[in-house]
Structure 1
Amino acid sequence: MIPKIEKLTIKNFGCIGSEGVSVDIDRIVVLVGANNAGKSTILRAFEVVTDCLKLEQDDFHNRQVKNDSFPEIELISVATTETKPGDEWCKSREDGTFTVKEKWTWEGINVEPKRVGYNYEIGRFAQEGDKETMPWGANNKAKSKRPKPHRVSTFDDPEVQARAIKSLLKSLLDEEIKSFKESEDDEKTSYQKIVSSLEKLRGDTKDRQADSVRELERDANDIISNIFPNHALSIFAPESTSAIKIELLGDEFDVRMGMVGGEAFPLDKQGSGSRRTALWTILKLLADKGIKAKNTTSKSARAQHENLGLNKAHVLLLDEPEVSLHPNAVENARDVLYSLPDGDNWQVMIATHSPSFIDLSKDHTTVIRVEKNEQSRIETTTLFRPDKAQLDDDDKENLKLTNLFDSHVSHAFFGGRIIVVEGDTEYAAFNYIKDREACKGNNEYHDLNIVRARGKVTVASMMKVLNHFKGIYFVLHDTDRPKCMSKRIDKQKSSGNNKVYTTFEMNNPAWTNNKKIQDQMGSDSRVFASIINFEEAYFSETVGSDKPENCINHIKTDLDAYGLIKCLLDAILGIDNVSPPEGVIQWNNVDQLDQAVSMYESSVTVIDSEQEPEIEGAD
């Protein structure tokens, strides 16, 4: 087991005020939200608390240092038997690990934070006068017991990490050189033999060295005595005892990128997207080797890296990893980042504006929206956690396939009103209404996210996710029919290429999925159903193919059709208390759908187009 960070609570830090925010932390945490909503502030808070850093003035809320509003951050971490502090600081967990709670307070700019632990034996945080106040003792020792944070900001220079990996390579090869032996029977390495011969050379030439020093001293005093009478210059040359070091490696290492089989160029010649990806890639490799880049701008420093000490667990803090990346590269970067925690020693926290960085099919993933409310206070909402949503394997597969077909599904996590529709027709129709109304100056739908589920079974899976958003969402799907006709081959009547099929009535699988939707209904869901399907409900027709194109053609060329679909959308969203049109039902029990479909079927007469209808009472 490796130590983990589990929860972060932040008050009076950066743009976060006294009301505070809490962030649940899993293996993967994705922070979403608008610009300047506080995502980067959360990453910064994580970094300063786990590394016990001093604060700058910009880190204080509203840049003001006040006695009644000092920055305060609480951290809940999970310790193992090997890393746990004293028993009074630990709360045992079922899996054999321990909960440890700490709190940091900064009482001024550029001063060390005050850290205290939660004493579970007395049920409070430690106070002045207590025998002990901090788990693990001093900060440096405590830091080695928690995961090490590695922050990559939007405009960090990847050359710093590149110099670190070059420094690491140089030190590794230097060790290889110094440990080389020509024969396993040799007592000394080849390097030690060379150093010994140089030490002997230094000793053998000692007398000649002394003669050279005395000669230099005489020549200097011939000049000095003419300028300063009765003065003399003395040169002391004590016997050298310093170790002899041989620099066998220069600056011949470089880090370059390029196409396989093509020309490779240094990192500083790459595009910004490639450079930033190389940055966190190298950072991860260095951390796994137990080192990190030195915080220095000097390119001439002998070593550009330093040891991390006992830290074996790490947290990668990434600010907008999608910046300057091609869409395909964004998806690849997402998959790589999601795979980092597979080794159990990494956690990843990402602040992003890209829906592509959300993958609902992954376990141990938390999606948190960070936003400002009407009073400009920062709020966080945990939108999704797989363990809370209780997604089964079918749900994960449904969501994974939906995301493959339509990357816009994840837009729902970024705020605004959400309506889940079953298929392409509703998706095309509502988006057309949204765009047309915007062109007219009607901004009623500007924050509307239309999520296309591409199937009724996926509607239920999406509802499982949305039930954790803590906000109202809307659903429109087809009722379908309880029964449907199907056909199968009659093997007895079929022969060779002559295939005979028989038709039969069966329970409609699409109808059974209505129950799955009902099971996910709650106080936050508003679920509507088009009776039978979208085309029959609003256009009184059955369409076999090209349904979205057929629908758009209707509402483009027929003002009544446009008004009907707009009325449908407004009724679902509850705009101006518009009444829903005929053909749609808001429901919460499958019996209501059964009754609506039965009434519809009883009101429909199907006429063969080749026969004249029989009119009662006609001659």
Structure 2
Amino acid sequence: MDQEIQRPRLQKLIIKNFRAIGHNPVEIELDDIVVLVGPNNAGKSSILRAYEVAMSDGSKKCELTLDDFPNGTISAENLPEIVLHTIVYDNLPAEKWVNRSTGENIIIERWKWDTVGKPKRSGWNAVSQDWDETGVPWGAANVANSRRPLPHKVDAFSDPEEQSSSIVKLLSTIITNRVKSLTVKNGEEEEELTEFGKLLEQVKEIQNKIIAESKEEIEKAEEGISDLIKEIFPDYKITFDARPEDDLEKSINLFKAGSKLLMGPATGYQSTVDRQGSGARRTLLWAALRYISETSSKNERPNVLLLDEPELCLHPNAVREACRVLYELPLNSNWQVMVTTHSPAFVDVSKDNTTIVRVERDFSGEIKGTTLFRPQRAKLDENDRKLLKLLNLCDPYVAEFFFGGHSIIVEGDTEYTAFKYIAAIHPEEFKDVHIIRARGKATIVSLIKILNHFGTRYSILHDSDYPILESGNKNPAWTTNQNILNAVYEHVDPSRVRLIASLKNFEFAFLTNEVSGEKPYNALLELSENTEIAENIRLLLLSLINHSSPIPTGCLEWSSLEELFRHYQDKVMTSLQKKD
């Protein structure tokens, strides 16, 4: 993308003493897609709200109540504070506000409340390297707001009227901005949206043209979104009940505040969105986002979608489509997306523009935000992304390990099924364990790279295989053992990883039936009928959780390929002795 047409984007959001977030700042690194995961009441929604508050400077939404202060009290040592880093390319403020330490133009602003009501906004002075209380970047709040991406927040549990209002506002803003960008011209060249002020000087002469072009854009939106709605509600359509503003000279709004979005059967009664069911409202939201994504251009004003729990009220078939819409929105247009979720289906580690942040409370009760995953830091190559994409298609819940607990990578379906069975009959013993099914030996390496990025403890169980096949040919799976070991040693502290190999394979090591077309099913039968096998696999699972626990017979904890090879040599010698 050429720098001339690049638009502002968010780089970092820092929050402290705001709602559930305490004195220790929560720092969010922003990407095209930011997925906030973590338990309930950990502050995820507070993070979404923080950016909306900062961007509402100059309006009532930016005014805090006592409930927004820590513990509902005002303390000089614990005042609410929101800091925003924005990367800009044009319309720069005065030189002292521009931080170029990273090679980009970063504007750093802070909002601080010393009491209920309005905040004090200040800017970071790149010259004095301190907060400057004598002025602010870009001056007036409305001017500064126009230099940053515009927020669109949709809450999870707000009442139907608020949800309806959020969707109508989202569509109205996008349509309005597109109409403005289409009608503002200087000679033969189309002007940028930020030059829309020139329209006000000519409003008397071009008002009819603006209204005509806005109607055309509305009709296109109605038709496009109605087509998408029909995929779920076949006989439905939408009508955007928009009315022109009487006095454009005093407002940049093209439509009255009372404009409504109607929805219902094409040949029947259409009611406002707030009168629709939860499923219909969420379907409309996704249809609107998909329409915006598929019809946007990179030259539009940048936007930020702040979405709370996108999985709510979605039919299972709609979840994958909703995830696709979210991930494609930044690719097709000037959008960034920040969502909170409890669903692994909305975490796609195969994408190269996604940051995963876990928000949780520590032992002292303080909320912290930990960046679990950024592709460039995890050092994923194209083959890793390909494997992870295929894995995500096969198992949309593979990303459960982002949500906490002790992670165990296993190679195939049989061990995954066996461990799940053991965990189900011993729930207290294995209540916080995530079994990650790699569905192939090569994919284990890609998953290790991601878990290394966490810096936490985890375990791996894979088949040792043998260097030579029974046919006498070399076994390609043997080479992957070294790749797995190399990946483990890239952990910041390899001693926190336990690497265990099932000797030859899991079925050979722990079950009685090695070769079968129904291996997972046969494993369940054996576990349910043979208490000795079940106990052996329980001990194996315990050893994968507790790295100091002994491992059962049938597997080997290894740290060099020579160890595995010695086992193979022992097996060959034993076989020869039996033949003799």
TM-score w.r.t. length of structure 1: 0.73
Decide which of 518, 527, 530 is 1:555's aligned counterpart.
527
Letter in 1 for 2:146: S
State the alpha-carbon separation in 2 of the partners of residues 567 and 9 from structure 1: 44
TM-aligned CA distance change 1:594 to 1:107, over 3 Å: same
User: Which digits, 9 at most, give the CA deviation of each residue in 1:380-422, with x for residues without a partner?
Assistant: 1111111111211111111111111112211111111111100
Q: Is the contact made by 1:418 and 1:448 (CA closer than 8 Å) also made in structure 2?
A: yes
Decide which of 22, 31, 36 is 1:31's aligned counterpart.
36
Q: Which runs of 5+ in 1 are unaligned?
A: 176-187, 193-241, 244-248, 291-309, 486-503, 608-612, 615-619
State the alpha-carbon separation in 2 of the partners of residues 373 and 168 from structure 1: 40
Q: Aligned-pair distance for 1:327? A: 1.4
The answer for the alignment partner of 1:427 in structure 2 is 416
TM-aligned CA distance change 1:93 to 1:328, over 3 Å: farther
Letter in 1 for 2:152: H
Q: Aligned-pair distance for 1:436? A: 0.9
Letter in 1 for 2:54: V
State the alpha-carbon separation in 2 of the partners of residues 454 and 190 from structure 1: 61
Farther off after superposition, 416-425 or 48-57:
48-57
Q: Aligned-pair distance for 1:554? A: 2.0
Q: Aligned-pair distance for 1:277? A: 3.9
Residue 278 (structure 1) aligned with residue 287 (structure 2): no
TM-aligned CA distance change 1:348 to 1:531, over 3 Å: same
Q: Is the contact made by 1:148 and 1:311 (CA closer than 8 Å) also made in structure 2?
A: no
State the alpha-carbon separation in 2 of the partners of residues 257 and 104 from structure 1: 43
Q: Aligned-pair distance for 1:265? A: 4.8
State the alpha-carbon separation in 2 of the partners of residues 5 and 590 from structure 1: 46
Farther off after superposition, 507-516 or 25-34:
507-516
Q: Aligned-pair distance for 1:284? A: 8.7
Q: Is the contact made by 2:289 and 2:325 (CA closer than 8 Å) also made in structure 1?
A: no
Q: What is the Cα-based RMSD across aligned positions, in Å?
A: 3.4
Q: Is the contact made by 1:166 and 1:255 (CA closer than 8 Å) also made in structure 2?
A: no
Residue 63 (structure 1) aligned with residue 65 (structure 2): no
Decide which of 585, 594, 597 is 2:556's aligned counterpart.
585
Decide which of 434, 458, 461 is 1:449's aligned counterpart.
434
Tell me the SS of whatever aligns to 1:8.
strand
Taking the TM superposition and a 5 Å limit, the aligned residue runs for 1:92-491 are: 92=100, 97-110=104-117, 112-127=118-133, 132-156=134-158, 157=161, 158-160=163-165, 255-256=262-263, 265-266=270-271, 267-279=273-285, 282=288, 312-438=301-427, 443-485=428-470
Identity %: 39
The answer for the alignment partner of 1:48 in structure 2 is 53
Q: Aligned-pair distance for 1:331? A: 1.2
User: Which digits, 9 at most, give the CA deviation of each residue in 1:161-196, with x for residues without a partner?
Assistant: 566589799999x99xxxxxxxxxxxx99989xxxx
Q: Aligned-pair distance for 1:449? A: 0.8
Tell me the SS of whatever aligns to 1:407.
coil
User: Aligned pairs, how many?
Assistant: 490
User: Which digits, 9 at most, give the CA deviation of each residue in 1:473-525, with x for residues without a partner?
Assistant: 1110001111225xxxxxxxxxxxxxxxxxx5322111111122112112242
The answer for the alignment partner of 2:201 in structure 1 is none
Q: Is the contact made by 2:286 and 2:325 (CA closer than 8 Å) also made in structure 1?
A: no
State the alpha-carbon separation in 1 of the partners of residues 206 and 141 from structure 2: 40
Q: Aligned-pair distance for 1:121? A: 1.4
Q: Aligned-pair distance for 1:349? A: 0.2
User: Which digits, 9 at most, give the CA deviation of each residue in 1:322-363, with x for residues without a partner?
Assistant: 111111111111110111111341100001111111111112
Q: Aligned-pair distance for 1:596? A: 2.4
Q: Is the contact made by 1:145 and 1:311 (CA closer than 8 Å) also made in structure 2?
A: no
Q: Is the contact made by 2:171 and 2:288 (CA closer than 8 Å) also made in structure 1?
A: no
State the alpha-carbon separation in 1 of the partners of residues 29 and 174 from structure 2: 38
State the alpha-carbon separation in 1 of the partners of residues 444 and 339 from structure 2: 27
TM-score w.r.t. length of structure 2: 0.77
User: Which digits, 9 at most, give the CA deviation of each residue in 1:264-318, with x for residues without a partner?
Assistant: 854345331330342465489789999xxxxxxxxxxxxxxxxxxx981111100
TM-aligned CA distance change 1:38 to 1:342, over 3 Å: same
Larger Rg: 1
Letter in 1 for 2:116: I
Farther off after superposition, 138-147 or 444-453:
138-147
Tell me the SS of whatever aligns to 2:397.
helix
